[in-house]
Amino acid sequence: MWEQIRSNRVRSIVLVAGMCVLLLALGYVIGLFFLDNPFIGLIIAGSVWALLALVSFFQGDNILLSVSKARKIGREDDPQLYNVVEEMTIASGLEKIPDIYVINDNALNAFATGRSPKKAAVTITSGLRSTLNRNELQGVIAHEIGHIKNRDVLLMCITSVMLGAIVIISWYTTRVLFWGGAGRKSNSSRGEGSGAFILLIIGLLLMVLAPIFAQLINYAVSRKREYLADASAALYTRYPEGLASALEKIGSSTTAVKSANKATAPMFIVNPFAKRKAFNEWMSTHPPIADRVRVLRSMNGYSISDYEESFTETHKGKHIFNNPMASDKM
């Protein structure tokens, strides 16, 4: 299993590096056309990201829980839920039981947060808690603990912050440009001729397309992590049907999570927005629910290689992990 986690981590690092290149390219263009110095633009872009990253790393989990209006509970508040979290913590090998939070919301969803396995939390909506039986609840909690174990929560936090930095910089720059900000740049520094005009067009296209490309990269990172968390849940519970049944119930709901937004959407077990039409599924941070259920129900066992085999059969030869024959028994 650890080989699979390392393999996906390498892929994710490559994708995050792509987002970093987009961010720096955006800063370079802004410095070139607005500040007469591309390196100042690089410094501004890097500083915005660094500030957001620091806030996210040290307070991101508290901010997310606060925005979600999540309430921390203990064993006495919900003995069964606490017991399930405890069981899955032991099965996964985590050193510490994650804190448990409940959101008073009729929507069916859950998420995990925290910068490390030692400082993590699992959160479930009251609607999902009241809908699932014990096996299904175990599958959902195992999925979220899989995210914690695989360090997905920190990775998704980093990509979300980088995406946010790109969106913020692009948004303000295009507004400044629209209101005549480009006119502040001296004619001499602009240069003359078709070369300067082409560079300006390229810069404008980058400002418009950078957030879109960054979002697509964010989708790619998030989807890979969801598949691995599903596989981890099957391994921890030894019962893939539990998560499959839970996902079916979640997929049948059309109630959106009230506190969710585009920045927090990748953290949830499924897309937290209500409508899930074909186009929305394709543009979603998560794989289609029906696809995830089909893979789980096609498994002949509960190991990572069993999940890989099921995924390959379901997707006509396509692989989700780099090394399907890796040892995955715990």
**Residues forming the active site:** 144
Helices (H), 150-193: 152-178, 187-190
Report how far residue 102's alpha carbon sits from residue 88's, in angstroms, rounded to the nearest whole number.
18
Do strands 99-103 and 119-125 pair parallel, antiparallel, or not at all (unpaired)? parallel
Q: Are 303 and 235 in contact (CB under 8 A)?
A: yes
What tokens appear for 56 in the block? 């996210």
Cβ proximity of 322 and 12 under 8 Å: no
Order the strands of the 99-103 sheet from edge to edge.
Answer: 70-73, 99-103, 119-125, 110-116
Residue of 127, 180, 179, 158 lying closest to 225 (CA atoms): 158
Residue type, 162: M
* Element counts in the chain: helices (H) and strands (E): 12, 4
Among 109, 123, 126, residue whose Cα is nearest residue 153: 123
Tokens of 236: 């921890």
H or E element in which residue 72 lies: strand 70-73
CA distance 187 to 181: 13
Q: Which amino acid is at 124?
A: I
Concatenate the DSSP letters of all residues of 275-330 into one string. Answer: ---HHHHHTSSS--HHHHHHHHHT-SSSSHHHHHHHHHHHTTT--SSS-TTS----
